[in-house]
Structure 1
Amino acid sequence: MKIVIIGNGKIGSNLAALLVQEGHDITVVDCDETHLRKSQNTLDVMCIEGNGATAETQLEAGANKATLLIAATPYDEVNVLCCLIGKRLGTKKTISRVRMPEYYQQMHLIREDLGLSMVINPELSTADEIMRVLVFPSAAKVEVFGKGKLELVEYRLPDFPWLENITLVELYKKIKTKFLICAVQRDEKVFIPSGDFALQEGDRIHVAASHRNIERFFRASGFMKDKVRTVMIVGGGRVGYYLSKQLLAVGMKVKLIEKDRERCEKLSDLLPKAIVICGDGTDQDLLIEEGVLEVDGFVALTGIDEENMIISLFAKDSTNAKVVTKVSRENYIDLSSELGLDCVVSPKSLTMGNVLSYVRSLESTAGSEIESLYHLVGDQVEAIEFRVKERIPDLVGVPLKDVQLKKNILICAIIRKREIIIPDGSAVIELGDSVVIVSKEHHFSSMKDILD
């Protein structure tokens, strides 16, 4: 697939690297030669120096023949203009990054008029991810499928004697609710487990179930944490704003610490129900003075990864709060986990997943279509939701025990209208179902790809 990416900053360059790995023909456009140089030297992409918001540059990049144009410059207005021009030139689909809250709120009104196929907002996606974890603080991460009907929850197993070496079959018998452990990370290894897999302390498990059954699983196993009612946020950027707005909307109390006075004044106007403190959130004395020892949730959202990690470690060691850490650099994600920070969010990773899901859906055959896609355990496992749109031989209407799947693939849920089915061997996939699979393999764009 020919894809044009305009804007080769952090988001653009990482998208280029990801989509090259997926086997696509990528052209990158940027007006700054230094932004292009690294991609030119390290990736198999065509680089064009120029203004991507002009028809001349887009024609040089081949936008008139492209299946997809992605506008990822730092400027929302430029991104929208790039997509509008690309659409007029003949690009089939367009994706625009829009970050400003004022603009993003208007997109649903004019998206079709502007020719936008998709709008991405990394900061809002990050806030959504953090919100899901704060609403369900027992989890390290929560992904949703079937428009929220199914949840896939990551959790690190504690030192509970009854858990040691218990097999999944034994666990399913002990906890009588519908759930499935569909992936396990143990140190550097990742498993798509079968029923005889034995759990150990420190394993990171990924549990699939409806929200109600996820809660039942955590209560029955003794993993359930108290609800979060008060949250301290350090960093008043766009993520901090979006998150505060969501928390206040569900009745949580929010204290937001930001060191820029002008930004504090603006946040006070935008978030009248929040307590906004002008100060240095990396100052431990200030955090204690403002009540960090009493809050239920603590979120580090400064623009500097190292600061976020340090203040998160302080909050983790000093409080009983649910601690969430924003990290942008990929190599810091694993480091954060090693330091004991189990809930780390990455705006870049979330954006990559959203775009990749859309790109894969463009590749999908008529028989099935990707609804959503998430990366688990870094990039080692993919969880994909397919919509079954036609009768696929050897799959639709066949009991799962008779379906020949490729290795390291697990069908972990079937979503049928309002029903969540955690399947056993007798379960059958029907036309119109959404099917969630977990796999150590990558590049699946159709349900047909999972058959052996």
Structure 2
Amino acid sequence: MKFVVIGAGKLGGTLSAQLVQEGHNVTVIDNNDTAIQRMLNSQDLMCIDGNGATAETQIEAGIKKADVLIATTAHDELNMLCCMVARKLGIERSICRVRNPEYYNQIDLIKSDLGLAMVINPELAAAGEITRVLIFPAAAKVEVFGKGKVEVVENRLPEDSPLVGLSLAEIYKKLKLQFLICAVQRDQEIFIPSGDFVLQANDKINIAASHSDLERFFKQNGAMKLKVKNVIIVGGGKIGYYLTQQLSELGMRVKLIEKDYKRCTELCDLLPRAIVINGDGTDQDLLLDEGITDVDAFIALSNIDEENIIMSLFAKNNSKAKIVTKVNRETYSEMASMLGLDTLISPKQLANGMILSYVRSLENASSESRIESLYNIIGNRVEAIEFNVNEKIQGLTGTPLRELRLKKNMLICAIIRKRQVLIPNGNDKIDPGDSVIIVTKEHRFSELKDILE
């Protein structure tokens, strides 16, 4: 497929690299010479130095032969104008980045006029992911499938965990719950484990189950944490705004620290149920004065990764709070994880996953199955994908799973059949109408039959 991406910033650069890696033809438009040169030096794609909102530049980029235009600049108005121009030039599908809450809340009024197939709001997505983690604080990360029927959560095993030293088969027999440990990270190595895999201390495990079974799993292993009631958020940007709004609606008490006075006055009007504090979140005395030692959760959302990591480490050393850290640079994510900061949020990676899910669904739009959602887990090294099975798939549906010849390094985690969640065994079958959740280490699947040898 051919894509025209407008904007060579963090999101546009990461997305373009992923699209090229998956075999697509990508042309990037930006009027920043430095950004253009950086992409040309690192990626196998075409770049055009120009204004992506002009018809002339889009035509030069090949918009009339493109399948999708993706507008990812930092300016909502520019992104919408780019999509409008592309629509006039005949493009049928556009993806638009819209971050401003006022624009996003009314985007449905103009969505069809702009020809938008998808609207992405990375900051809102990040806030939603943080909220899910705070609702279930025992998890480092929570991904939702089947409209909430199945969750895949990440958790690091402490040294005193009763699961350490047990094989997965022993764990399943002992706990007698409907769950599946579908991926494990041990140091830098990733495993898609079988029943004889033995867990060790400090393993990062990903568990697939319904929310109720996940709660029982953590309770039985002594890993369940108390409900979050009091939260400190540092950073009053768009993520901070969306997150404070969501947490306040859930009844949590939120203190939002922002160092820009003008922004504080705006937030006071927008968020009447929160306490907005004008101050520097990197000031340790301020954090102590505001009660960081007794808080249930601490969220670092400044625009500087280094500050977020330092603030989070201070909170980790001075409280028992659930800590969430925004980190955009992948090299910093690995370092932060090594320092014990397990719940890391990257808005650009969330947006990237949303777009790739849509792109892959386009690739097999007329096939027997369709991608409903796609998430990258364990540092973007494993994919968790939900497929909707539209009709019979030869050699797959109606056949007991034990008889299927499946590719290596992948697992079928769950089958959602109407309102029932199945953690499958060898006797279960996939039927038309099911939703199927898989995890895969090495394959980029665009349809469910790709799991077969």
TM-score, with length taken from structure 1:
0.98
1:200 is aligned to 200
What is the alpha-carbon distance in structure 2 between the residues aligned to residue 193 and residue 442 of structure 1? 16
Counterparts of 1:278 and 1:442 in 2: how far apart (Å)? Answer: 48
Contact 1:66/1:92 (<8 A) preserved: no
Task: Report the Cα offset of residue 161 of structure 1.
Answer: 5.8
Query: Aligned letter for 1:162?
Result: P
Deviations 1:48-101 (A, max 9, x none): 111111111111111111111000111111111111221222223110000001
Q: Over residues 254-296 of structure 1, what are the superposed CA-to-partner deviations in whole Å (9 max), with x where a residue is unaligned?
A: 0000110000000000001100010111011010111111110
Quick check: 2:233–2:257 contact (8 Å CA) kept in 1?
A: yes
The question of 1:433 aligning with 2:437 is answered: no
Q: CA deviation at 1:2?
A: 0.3
Count of aligned positions: 452
Aligned counterpart, 1:409 = 410
Deviation at 1:174, TM superposition (A): 1.2
Q: Secondary structure at the match of 1:245?
A: helix
Partners of 1:296 and 1:322 within 8 A in 2: yes
Q: Tell me, what secondary structure is at the counterpart of 1:113?
A: helix
Whether 1:287 and 2:299 are equivalent positions in the alignment is no
SS in structure 1 opposite 2:113? coil
What letter matches 1:442 in structure 2?
H
Match of 1:366 in 2: 367
Q: Is the 8 A contact 2:247 2:254 kept in 1?
A: yes
- Per the alignment, residue 398 of structure 1 pairs with 399
Residue identity matched to 1:13: G
Q: CA RMSD in A?
A: 1.0
Instruction: Name the CA distance, whole Å, in 1 between partners of 2:148 and 2:67.
Output: 30
| 2:447 maps to 1:446 | yes
Name the counterpart of 1:345: 345
Cα separation, 2, equivalents of 1:32 and 1:315: 38
Q: How does 1:154-193 map to 2 (within 5 A)?
A: 154-160=154-160, 162-193=162-193
Q: How does 1:8-19 map to 2 (within 5 A)?
A: 8-19=8-19
CA shift for structure 1 position 44: 1.1
Aligned equivalent of 1:278: 278
- Where does 1:290-301 land on structure 2 (aligned, <5 Å)? 290-301=290-301
Same amino acid, percent of matched pairs = 61
1:318-344 per-residue CA deviation (whole Å, 9 max, x = no partner) reads 101101100011100010010011111
Give yes or no for contact 1:157–1:200 (8 Å, CA) kept in 2: yes
**Partner SS state of residue 112, structure 1:** helix
1:101 paired with 2:101, answer yes
Between the aligned partners of 1:433 and 1:403, the Cα distance in structure 2 is: 17
Residue 113 (structure 2) aligns with? 113
SS of 2:276's equivalent? strand
Alpha-carbon contact 1:164-1:201 (below 8 Å) kept = yes
How far residue 116 of structure 1 moved from its aligned partner, in angstroms, is 0.4
Query: What amino acid does structure 2 have at the position aligned with 1:391?
Result: K
CA offset digits 1:140-188 (Å, max 9, x no partner): 0000111111100000001226322101111111112101000011111
Q: Mind listing any 5+ residue stretches in structure 1 that lack a counterpart?
A: none
Q: Which residue of 2 aligns with 1:147?
A: 147
The Cα of 1:108 is off from its aligned counterpart by 2.6
Is 1:323 the counterpart of 2:356 in the alignment?
Answer: no
Q: 2:2 is matched with which residue?
A: 2
Q: Which residue of 2 aligns with 1:85?
A: 85
| Contact 1:309-1:325 within 8 A present in 2 as well | yes
Amino acid across the alignment from 1:269: D
Ranges of 4+ aligned residues in structure 1 off by more than 4 Å: none
Deviations 1:17-59 (A, max 9, x none): 1111111000001122222111112211111111111111111
1:233-248 correspondence to structure 2 within 5 Å: 233-248=233-248
* Equivalent residues of 1:363, 1:445 under 8 A apart: yes
Counterpart amino acid of residue 303 in structure 2: G
Corresponding letter in the other structure for 2:204: R
Report the residue type matching 1:132 in the other structure.
R
Q: Is the 8 A contact 2:67 2:91 kept in 1?
A: yes
**1 CA distance for matches of 2:207 and 2:185?**
12
* Contact 1:175–1:221 (CA under 8 A) maintained in structure 2: no
**3-state SS of paired residue (2:166):** coil
The farther-off stretch of 152-161 and 422-431 is: 152-161
Q: Secondary structure at the match of 2:116?
A: coil
SS in 2 for 1:226: coil
Unaligned segments of structure 2, at least 5 residues? none
Distance in 2, matches of 1:162 and 1:11, equals 41
- The letter of the residue matching 2:396 is L
Offset, 1:221:
1.3
Equivalent residue, structure 2, for 1:356: 356
Secondary structure of the structure 1 residue equivalent to 2:334:
helix
Distance 1:49 1:220, change over 3 A: same
